[in-house]
Amino acid sequence: MKIEVICIYCESGSVSGEPLTQFTVSGTWAMDDALGRQLKPWPFFRKVPGYSESYFANHCPHCGAAQDDLYLHSEPDQPLYSIPRAAPGSIKLTALVGQIQLSGDESFEI
């Protein structure tokens, strides 16, 4: 069954003070209000309950199962692996407003 999943993709930003371009963020564990507000249209992207170090993940809208965030980002056949190189039409980009801050793991593929 196909479900919608989302992730945070940055055209540009900085990670630990280093400038980076075209990267996604996985394993998000914290985000600022500016980002939290803008993610409200995607309520299935929420913290996984039951972990001591909980992180944000996509959840199946049908059964509520959490989708492994790292898996979606790290396997070449998964949708969030390379957003700049994704097949046309497979990814819908929604622009965020302003600068946002979040804590997680950056990943990118050149």
| Cα–Cα distance, 60 to 12 (Å, whole number) | 29
Kindly tell me which of 35 and 58 has the beta carbon lying closer to Zn ion.
58
Site for Zn ion in 52-81 (CB under 5 A): 60, 62-63, 65
**C-beta nearest to Zn ion: residue:** 60
* Burial class of residue 58 in the structure, from the number of CB atoms within 10 Å of its CB (0-12 exposed, 13-18 middle, 19+ buried): buried
Min dist. Cβ of residue 61 to Zn ion (A): 8
Min dist. Cβ of residue 89 to Zn ion (A): 23
Kindly tell me which of 30 and 65 has the beta carbon lying closer to Zn ion.
65
Site for Zn ion in 1-60 (CB under 5 A): 60
HSE on the CB side for 110, CA within 13 Å?
A: 1
3-state secondary structure 32-95: CHHHHHHCCCCCCEEECCCCCCCCEEEECCCCCCECCHHHHHHCCCCCCCCCCCCCCCCCCCCC
Min dist. Cβ of residue 79 to Zn ion (A): 16
Q: Decide if residue 95 touches Zn ion (CB under 5 A).
A: no
Min dist. Cβ of residue 2 to Zn ion (A): 11
The residue ranges that bind Zn ion (CB under 5 A) are 60, 62-63, 65
